Every structure is written in C-alpha cells, then in structure tokens.
Structure 1
C-alpha cells in the first residue's frame, strides 16, 4: 500500500509528519510512504520558519493507493476583512491552485482504487479547486464556513469517511487519520498495534456515509 503525502509551499509540518509516522510504523505490513510534490523532487519550504522537507518524487495517482494532502501553516486572516497577508493560511492554500496540484488531485479522485485523504486545510485545497462540491468533508473549525461556501457539506467532526475521500479536522487529527486508514485498509489489529506503539488513543467518532450529519 503506497501513500503519497503531498508537500506544497507553506504546508503545515505536523499535518505531514503525524500521519507519515503513523503509516510508516506499519511498514511490516507492506505499507510504503513517500513525500511528493506536484513538481517532482525538490526542497519544499513549510509555513514554520526554516523547516523544510524534501519531496523525493512527483505525485503520481497511477502509483498511489492513498494521496494525502496537508493544510498550510501561516498567519490568520484579518478579522476586519483587510487585505490578507502573503503568508496567511487562505493565501497559502489558494496558491496551490496555480500549480499542477489540482489536476493531479482530480486524477486521483477519478481513478478507481485511490483514496484521497486530507488533514486540516487540505480539504480546502480540494474544495477551492471545485473537486468535492456536494460531498461531506471536514477541516479546522475556523475553515468550516469557507468549506461550506464552496458547496461542500461541511461537518464539524474529527474524521469523515466518504469512500474515496477521507478528511480530518485539525492538525493533531493527522494521528487519528493515519490510524483510521490503517484500520480501514489493513484491519484493527494493525491499527491497535501502532496505536499502542505511539501511545495515542484516537478521539471522536468517524462519520461515514449514511450517518446523520
């Protein structure tokens, strides 16, 4: 099972590292995880000062079983509605729309057998690209209104499973997302073993299709 974790300029490091470490802990069960970008191998600056990570490959939905999109880390929008700063989270997320990422994410969603997962503002990348209109999803509580404004069924829950789209709410929910994906794809024994290894108990109830919003 190959998971490609997407890096883009301004990504939130915890959104990446939390699910990356959880999924990598199941390597004995033929789980591979790699860092990728839409542009291919490169050093990718995060939104946390000098922290960068290296994408070792290009995002390729033809190879991946799971494509995981993090959110961004930056300043908050001006509550008075002023011009957003270049390092504000909405701007960093919006910048991805001018890259090759939206087309690759559409390819992933259109491809049978591929699950697209997101942490925090990662779902807003999909939403702003017009890829998940009408579908249930979650994001950070501060972004739920924006998610709903794009036509998404915004849910204020920890994890939302809508089949080939699995979204998680806020930065620490990346741990829960990783564990849930292990349980869904490889079974509860694997998820429990990793949960024990990292000493983390999952929080909340996973919303699934057919559940009441």
Structure 2
C-alpha cells in the first residue's frame, strides 16, 4: 500500500510551510516512481482554507486521518508578531494556539501514537503540538522567535535546521520546509533520490540534521547497507 503524506491546513497557515514540502515530496516521489500520495487536508474535512498571507487560499480535499500510514506535515502560521489579542489582533501565537485547541488536537495525538505515522512540522508547526501538550520531553525546533516558548512547554529545543526525533521531525524557519522535505525523502528513499531533487530545485540542504540516537543509528545502518 503506497504511503500518504497529509499536509494539514488551518486558518492562518503559512503558505510556504505547506507548499515547500509538497513540491519536494512530489518531485521525490516522481523520481522514485513509487506513487506517494500527497494531499492537503484539514481537521474539519474538505474546505477552502485561507492562509495568513494576503488571503491566499488552498483547498483541503480530505479530513485529516491519523490512521493512514505515512507522513503528517503541520505548517506554522503567518500573521503579525505583535498586537493585542483583546483588540482582535490574530498574532501568530494566537493562530497557533487556536489551531492546537481545535478538533485537530486529538487527531494529531492519535497520529503521534500511531507507529506507522511520522509527524513532521515546519516553523511554528512544532509549537502547535507543544501548545496541545503532545510533545513534552521530545526534541524539536521551531522559528528562532519561538524557541523560548517551545522550551517553556517542556520540549527539548534543539538549535538545528532539521531535528529528527524518530517519529517526530521538525524544521526551523519558513524556508526550512524545503530541507524538511529533502530529509524525509532521504529517510524514505535514500540519498540518491534526495540528491536528485536538490539538483532539480537548485537547492542544497543547509546544516547537519540533528538526529536522536535511535534515528542516527538507523540512518547509519541504511547508508552502509
């Protein structure tokens, strides 16, 4: 059964956080020829989802399914950093917290409990999981401006472009969605597919991914197999 990558959209999401992994994973699947299914989903089901950047919208075509083997990618939010929520200003922390407390929270918990699913995040996506109380004690990264908040929730914040904690993979700033996608390709298909997509996109991954000891040993076995 082909794996599925579900990219979760929510009101106020950051467009590049969603599009960058989509493009990279689609190109990698084409290179590998395995028919990886990639779709935009939402916790509410099919709907038009408006991002936080000038009203740009994407179409969610299905409901988030935590039982599907594969990846679930959680983007961050786009919006003002400063402002008073009491005055109706939807700052990025407000958008992320609202999503974390929505019907998506229990679905993401089920995904993290599913050994056949890898949950991946871009930028503020890890804060969504942290605000929902789902990754306390886990290793993760977020945007530089959110690292203190990540630590305050009990997450072991790691200053790296990509942090691989086994079934939880996170990436830092907005553009790191490209690197997240390439890292997932490397994990799933090997370095030759990831490299082919790097050449196609004229983008080389930045920095060394931080791997948990378990993930590091597994990667080492794969590379030398």
Q: Does the Cα contact within 8 Å between 2:13 and 2:50 map onto a contact in 1?
A: yes
Q: Distance in 1 between matches of 2:180 and 2:115?
A: 21
Query: 2:19 — aligned with what?
Result: 17
User: Which residue of the other structure, out of 94, 104, 117, is the alignment partner of 1:101?
Assistant: 104
Residue ranges of structure 1 left out of the alignment (5+ in a row): none
Query: 2:129 — aligned with what?
Result: 126
User: Which residue of the other structure, out of 141, 151, 158, is the alignment partner of 2:144?
Assistant: 141
Query: 2:181 — aligned with what?
Result: 178
Q: Report the CA distance between 1:200 and its aligned residue.
A: 0.6
Q: Does the Cα contact within 8 Å between 2:101 and 2:132 map onto a contact in 1?
A: no
Q: Does the Cα contact within 8 Å between 1:67 and 1:115 map onto a contact in 2?
A: yes
Q: Does the Cα contact within 8 Å between 2:69 and 2:116 map onto a contact in 1?
A: no
User: Which residue of the other structure, out of 38, 49, 55, is the alignment partner of 2:54?
Assistant: 49
Q: Distance in 1 between matches of 2:8 and 2:145?
A: 22
Q: Distance in 2 between matches of 1:106 and 1:62?
A: 11
Q: Does the Cα contact within 8 Å between 1:75 and 1:85 map onto a contact in 2?
A: no
Query: 2:117 — aligned with what?
Result: 114
Length-normalised TM-score, structure 2: 0.89
Q: Distance in 1 between matches of 2:100 and 2:187?
A: 30
Residue ranges of structure 2 left out of the alignment (5+ in a row): 217-225
Q: Does the Cα contact within 8 Å between 1:77 and 1:85 map onto a contact in 2?
A: no
Aligned pairs, number: 209
User: Which residue of the other structure, out of 27, 30, 39, is the alignment partner of 2:44?
Assistant: 39
- In structure 2, the CA distance between the partners of 1:172 and 1:8, relative to structure 1 (3 Å rule), is same
Runs of 4+ with deviation above 6 angstroms: none
1:168 aligns with 2:163: no
Q: Report the CA distance between 1:85 and its aligned residue.
A: 5.2
Q: Distance in 2 between matches of 1:205 and 1:58?
A: 34
Q: Distance in 2 between matches of 1:4 and 1:83?
A: 33
Q: Does the Cα contact within 8 Å between 1:4 and 1:59 map onto a contact in 2?
A: yes
Query: 1:70 — aligned with what?
Result: 75
Say which is worse superposed, 198-207 or 19-28, in terms of deviation: 19-28
- In structure 2, the CA distance between the partners of 1:98 and 1:130, relative to structure 1 (3 Å rule), is closer
Q: Find the residue that maps to 1:112 and give its secondary structure.
A: coil
Indicate the RMSD between aligned Cα atoms, in angstroms: 1.5
Write the deviation string for residues 104-127 of structure 1: whole angstroms up to 9, x where unpaired: 100000011110000000000000
